[in-house]
Structure 1
Amino acid sequence: MSIVDLYSSGEHRSNLAHFAAIATLAAIDGEVNPQEKVMLDRFARKLDITDAEYKEVMRAENKYAINPPSSLEERLERLFDLFRIVFADHEIDDEEKSLVRKYAIGLGYSAEKADEVISKSIAIFTGKIDFEAYLYLLKR
């Protein structure tokens, strides 16, 4: 049983799953470097991840796969959720952008399509857009 399975709250469970996938991506090249650690700390705060959850996710033997949904709409919804987190402070920095790109590729987008979706998302995302508007704008 993974740590994500221990929580029944839908929103918190989703936040924890996002955080675990992001942490795994950050550590994919070995150790988490200091810049990635700062970013993970920021994501943990934005996602209301407890210290105990953070420590559990960051254990070396815990690697959480991104389970890519098969439908385009579900993949966009996952990216939408991540962009809501990233834009909670109304900005995206290069480290966040790099991690979002890795996440998009993990969801099944090609590198080129990931760059396109991310560019469009950054151009239109204000932090107060609902999913239906996001989906409509990305499909155009």
Structure 2
Amino acid sequence: MSFTDLYGNSEHRRNLAHFAAMATLAASDGVIDEQEKELLDRFALKLNISVEEYKEVMKPTNKYPIEPPIDSEKRLERLYDLFTIIFADSVIDDEEMVLLRKYAIGLGYSTETADKIIKRSVKIFSGKIDFEDYSYLLKR
């Protein structure tokens, strides 16, 4: 038995936990609509989530801890993924905001930083950015 077999692949565990976080956000309004389902399916492929793991994650009784990546770019990518799943239905509700803040803090952001990132990300994803931000994003 190899070390990986004994303890599991930590990257895959992190991916599974991240996928579970996205599924929880998608289901936070009580239903996963078709757009959210399509995004979850795509993320499952991207994160190498098996069919069995997918079914297990989708059970309402399952809880997976958030395992924050060490790399700040990876943490930001995970947060981006969460915004992508939330805005699949073009709406962000209060319950999703609460969960999103919790996940951002769970990913390792301080409360203050999480609030700033969430505020700017909501503006970006909802298309309500000011010209300064628009200009900055285009020049990047």
**TM-score > 0.5, shorter chain as reference:** yes
Once the 2 structures are TM-superposed, how far is the Cα of residue 54 of structure 1 from its aligned partner?
A: 6.0
Once the 2 structures are TM-superposed, how far is the Cα of residue 90 of structure 1 from its aligned partner?
A: 1.6
Once the 2 structures are TM-superposed, how far is the Cα of residue 82 of structure 1 from its aligned partner?
A: 0.9
Q: Which position in structure 2 is the counterpart of 1:38?
A: 30
Matches of 2:60 and 2:93 in 1, distance apart? 26
Deviations 1:98-133 (A, max 9, x none): 111111011011111111110010011258xxxxxx
Whether the aligned pair in 2 keeps the contact of 1:82 and 1:100 (CA below 8 Å) is: yes
- Unaligned residue ranges in structure 2 (runs of 5+): 1-7, 45-50, 128-135
Once the 2 structures are TM-superposed, how far is the Cα of residue 22 of structure 1 from its aligned partner?
A: 4.9
Query: Whose relative contact order is higher, 1 or 2, with alpha carbons under 8 Å and at least 6 apart?
Result: 2
- Which is greater in Rg? 2
TM-score, normalised with respect to structure 1? 0.57
For the structure 1 residues 22 and 90, does the alpha-carbon distance in structure 2 shift closer, same or farther, using more than 3 Å as the test?
A: closer
Letter of the 2:40 counterpart: L
- Unaligned residue ranges in structure 1 (runs of 5+): 6-12, 27-34, 128-135
RMSD: 3.8
Provide the aligned length of Structure 1 versus Structure 2: 111
TM-score, normalised with respect to structure 2? 0.57
Letter of the 1:47 counterpart: L
Matches of 1:80 and 1:118 in 2, distance apart? 10
Once the 2 structures are TM-superposed, how far is the Cα of residue 52 of structure 1 from its aligned partner?
A: 6.6
Whether the aligned pair in 1 keeps the contact of 2:22 and 2:82 (CA below 8 Å) is: no
Identity %: 56
